[in-house]
Amino acid sequence: MNVASVEEIRGCFPALERSHAGNLVGYFDGPGGTQVPTAVVKASTDYLLRHNANTDWRYPTSIETDQLLKEARVTFADFIGCSEEEIVFGNNMTTLTFHLSRTLGKSWGPGDEVIVTQLDHQANQAPWRSLEEECGITVHTAPMLAESGKLDWDALRKLFNQRTRLLAIGGASNALGTVNDLEEAARLCRAAGAYFFVDAVHMASHQLMNVAEIGCDFLACSSYKFYGPHVGVLFIRKDIGDSLLPPRLPCTKGYLPESFETGTLNHEGIVGAAAAVEFLAGMSKFDGSRRERLDAAFGTLTVRSHRLLEFLWHGLEEQRGVQLYGPGPNERRTPTLGFTVKGLDSAAVVERLASDSGLFLSHGDFYASGVTEALGLGQQGLVRAGCVCYTTEEEVKRLIEGVASLCP
């Protein structure tokens, strides 16, 4: 086998040794943040203990820090298919998106329009909506089709016009697992002469991205969703980024990527984030470029996780009182499933699964409140289960049995 087995992968995660309610914990909370392998923790720790310094000074630990940050940019350039100059680091996707929105908003005003979607996380809505008050632009929302959990693409197309300045869309829904047609979104943006921003926070852990193939101008993700620490990464197309004027200190470099990076960065976090990408590439057991190894790893992980998703979907749909949401298992989606149990609040379901079966799931709207509103779920929200690289068939079976025990 050219890719590590699930058993080999699980051996890299100390968190998976934890027990609860008489069972090893089954972590289904990956869509809210995955567990972290030892190699990532070691990389961050080694930086802090052996290389810790600020940048751009001519002594060894500062030079080492400069080199490690450069290597991290190269690693993430391989991860999303761009050049290292187009990789910007920050606290998280939300902060980076606010920074970008305010930078773009400097040249926008009344009459300019931005499109967001009801399917998206608030982090890909609020930064753009803030410009309505700050700059006087108009923000339109493309609706979600409740029955399918997909975007209403006909409605989205009708929102584009000559005043459209940007479309902000998620690569995949963190609540339902819906995967959006980014190539079609890019075509719509090109036809309107609008910028194209992709929130890839949920997608990045399930699909190897290529920004050139997607056709986007900006793309953001966060490494804590793919086995790393809490660090945000923003791709900015260089020919666009070098012409923008983000808020910054006078001493900051006036070109990408440093022009968009405010203050001292989280060096140890960035080193750890790069180690997370290396961990993913290291699942492939052959000599090849980092990109080739990532491609092989993601290919195998996608097949494995989809089998688990199918098992989970069909197992839950057989339970009386369970309602499943979003695209079916035969459609393009991530292995993230939202559901409800009749007669039980989502928080109560999650609490019972943890206490009775040692299963950790998340509940609520996951900051994708437009989704739960469209589904008519109100404050109750969804129960969310996500399969990731360390999820096993036994855990999925235990989850199905645990939910079945709660059904009326």
Percent of the chain with pLDDT over 90: 96
Residues of the chain with CATH 3.90.1150.10: 6-35+290-404
CB–CB of 55/69 below 8 Å?
A: yes
CA distance 259 to 63: 20
pLDDT tens per residue, range 235-244: 999 999 989 9
Residue 254 pLDDT greater than 90, yes or no? no
Outline where 109-242 has alpha helix (H).
126-135, 153-159, 182-192, 211-214, 238-241
Q: Give start-end residues of each CATH 3.40.640.10 domain in the chain.
A: 42-280
Q: What's residue 255's pLDDT?
A: 83
Average pLDDT over residues 170-180: 98
Contact of 363 with 315, CB cutoff 8 Å: no
Q: What pLDDT was estimated at residue 18?
A: 98
Question: Would the pLDDT of 1 be above 80?
Answer: no
pLDDT value at 251 more than 90: no
Going by pLDDT thresholds of 50, 70 and 90, the confidence category of residue 185 is very high
Q: Find, among 130, 31, 122, 85, the residue nearest to 333 by Cα.
A: 31
Helices (H), 136-215: 153-159, 182-192, 211-214
DSSP string spanning 353-406? HHHHH-EE-EEE-TT-HHHHHHTT-TTT-EEEEE--TT--HHHHHHHHHHHHTT
What are the tens digits of pLDDT across the range 124-164?
999 999 999 999 999 999 999 999 999 999 999 999 999 99
Region at 190 (left for phi over 0; alpha for psi -120 to 50; beta for the rest): alpha
Average pLDDT over all residues of the chain: 97
What does the pLDDT read at residue 390?
Answer: 98
Q: Over the stretch 199-221, which tens digit does the pLDDT of each residue have? A: 999 999 999 999 999 999 999 99
Interior angle at CA 44, CA 38 and CA 390, nearest 5: 30
Mean pLDDT for the stretch of residues 293-317? 98
**Residue 348: pLDDT band with limits 50, 70, 90:** very high
Q: What confidence tier does 75 reach under pLDDT thresholds 50, 70, 90?
A: very high
For 31-71, the pLDDT digits (tens) are 999 999 999 999 999 999 999 999 999 999 999 999 999 99
The first and second tokens of residue 121, run together, are 């996380």
Tokens of 401: 């049995």
Quickly list H helices, 38-138.
38-46, 60-80, 93-105, 126-135
Mean pLDDT of 289-318: 98
Write down the CATH number for the domain with range 42-280: 3.40.640.10
Domain 6-35+290-404 of CATH type 3.90.870.10: no
